[in-house]
Copies of this chain bind each other. A is one copy, B any other.
Amino acid sequence: MKITNTSIEVSKLSNGNALSIEVVQYQSETPGPHIYIQANVHGAELQGNLVIAQLMDYFAEHEFSGKLTFVPFANPLASTQSMGGYTYGRFNARTGDNWNRNYTDVSKTNKSVIGGSIAEFVNKVTTQGLDSESITENFKQFLNACYEKLLDVTNPYAISENKYINTILQKLACDADVVLDLHTGGRATRYIYAAEFEQKDAIKMGFPHTLIIPNEFDGALDEACFMPWVTLRKSLQSMNLDFEIPIKAYTVELGSEEDVNSEDAKLDCLKILNYLKEIGTHQNMIEVTSEPQYFCSLKDYRSYFAATGGLCEYLVEPATHFNKGDPLACIHQFDKLQYQWKKVVIKANNNGIMINRATSSNIMQGEVLFQVMENYSCSN
């Protein structure tokens, strides 16, 4: 097994200092899948770094096949911005742009920007009559070239801070067979985002909650990884050519932001190890406690907004199942006309599972209080 570590500069600061990321690669001598795992693209979402640390320790001492790419602390532009006692890192404090929304969907990007197009690619590989494996290999190279072009800073009209860091990461991930983007919620349980075409595979991930997202693009890494393949498949299918999407990409939510916990990281690590065993990275038997897995569509992942301001007391912990009509939160307000306090109880509009809640009880009208799964099904 060979270990390499590459520093990549992701931002030159005004004073000449630079922010950089470390890309660690474990290359086995035996062939196998390429697994890409990054963490902390949002500045406050820390737990994934500890999970990467444990995975690195594990594979430093256990045999595996293929290549493992680890990118902890994937976004120093985000994690180094903090205000008061908290990390201000969900979006760029200068521009408001969410750090997980400026990845590129090459299938929707102008040829002049990326130097090519999927239509041209399909034309070429079908003319050449390549098989699926060769198409896959060629397509990964095509994607790499697109991202390379995007990163060209000699073009004065390119490239924003967000687009730059996102494209660097996307390029690193573009020849991986499995991409795991480790995030967290605010105050949240564990859950993953899986695309419709990944639904069966997602069960192997063993996470208690899965949100099924459409095969569409909204700017995030998982989508940016699979969308070109979705487009490629569609294009080949329209020519009556069979093609299975050969990659998987997941956004994995590991609890609450601002926190790290080694014990939890062991369990998170275990789940990922089990998944990697299914994928063929390694063969080690790892003992599993089976737990039920719940699935719902993204459209059934609902946010409750505060209809009024006040002090919100959250009554239901993440991962809790509740029934329609159950009290989920209580907003305490002082009614100055009546000289007295009142409690606005927020009741469940439907049966559901509490997934994520706000990080503060200091609530203005219109803030998201919590997010719940509704119309969920259970895998077991």
Contacts and interface: CB of A to CB of B under 8 A. Distances in A.
B361 A46 contact: yes
* Number of copies of this chain that the complex holds: 4
Max chain B CB contacts within 10 Å: which of A50, A84, A304?
A84
A21 B307 CA distance: 18
Interface string A11-29: 1111111011110100000
B14 A260 contact: no
Interface residues of A, number: 99
A269 interface: no
Interface in A138-162: 153-154, 156-162
A161 to B, nearest CB: 3
Interface string A81-94: 11111111111111
Contacts of A7: 336
Contacts of A89: 84
22 contacts: A3-B339, A5-B339, A7-B336, A13-B364, A14-B80, A15-B334, A22-B334, A43-B362, A46-B311, A49-B311, A56-B341, A72-B334, A79-B362, A84-B88, A85-B358, A91-B95, A96-B97, A157-B303, A159-B366, A160-B368, A258-B359, A259-B361
Given A12-B309, A15-B76, A260-B312, 7 more contacts: A13-B365, A14-B73, A15-B72, A16-B73, A73-B334, A260-B311, A260-B332
